[in-house]
Amino acid sequence: MGVIVVSGTGTEIGKTVVTAALAAAAAAEGRSVAVLKPAQTGLEPGAPGDAAEAARLAGPHVTAVELARYPEPLAPDTAARRAGMAAVTPEEVAEAAGKLAASHDLVLVEGAGGLLVRFDPAGRTLADAAALLGAPVLVVAPAALGTLNATTLTAEALRARGLSALGVVVGSWPAAPDLACRCNLADLPSSSGLPLLGAVPEGSGALAPAEFRAAAPGWLAPALAGTWSAEDFQAAWAPAPVAAAGGAPAA
């Protein structure tokens, strides 16, 4: 697989857990994996960051690398500026990922928030790093109402920049999905033009690492080294047909 850039449609939607699942599934196939977090925000020195958390869940042999850390939970460029620290540039991200790719079968580059969050004062983003790497982007999206617009905008931004998109993974599939979540399973691919490549159950990040590693391939499609089937998942969670006038289900 080489290098995969993992981008969300926003923040707090399960990017790190999806990254961990990708790492665990690849490691289960015997591949060496590295997780690269270009900019970690909202954490003080010494606290475990997203890369370390992904490696903790995915396995002790997964390499975790963090390029920069800023204490305030803000966009990387804003957090760096307020902290009086140097921003991370797309060139630095590409260089670090390239070095890791020389010694690992798979490098996962986990972004901060969405695709177009600013990394540096020039306004460059994770999309610019992906372009320098020539790497495909995996989009992590929420399941709930509002995800169609955000996911489709992300897909359009990728296409406008000539970037390759692998598909979409739902970052936190609810234990009791509402009607919007169920309908979005079918609507996400048709709206965004990207295939649905997985769904990670909510709360998966709280599993013990051994349980997480055993379950991870079942959350991801074969294209991501898993066994998950979009067709089976969509059929299992399809909403009931709309009732026609008189109470009978519509044909």
Q: Which residues are catalytic?
A: 37
Determine the Cα–Cα distance for residues 40 and 26; give it in Å rounded to an integer: 24
Residue ranges of alpha helices (H) inside 161-208 are 179-192
Give the β-pairing of 137-141 and 106-114. Answer: unpaired
- Separation in Å, CA 245 to CA 183, 238, 241, 242, 248: 21, 21, 13, 10, 7
Radius of gyration from C-alpha coordinates of the chain? 18
| Distance separating alpha carbons of residues 82 and 233, to the nearest angstrom | 44
Q: Which two tokens stand for residue 134?
A: 């020539």
Rounded (10°) angle between helices 50-58 and 15-28: 40
Q: Residue 78: left (phi > 0), alpha (psi -120 to 50), or beta?
A: alpha
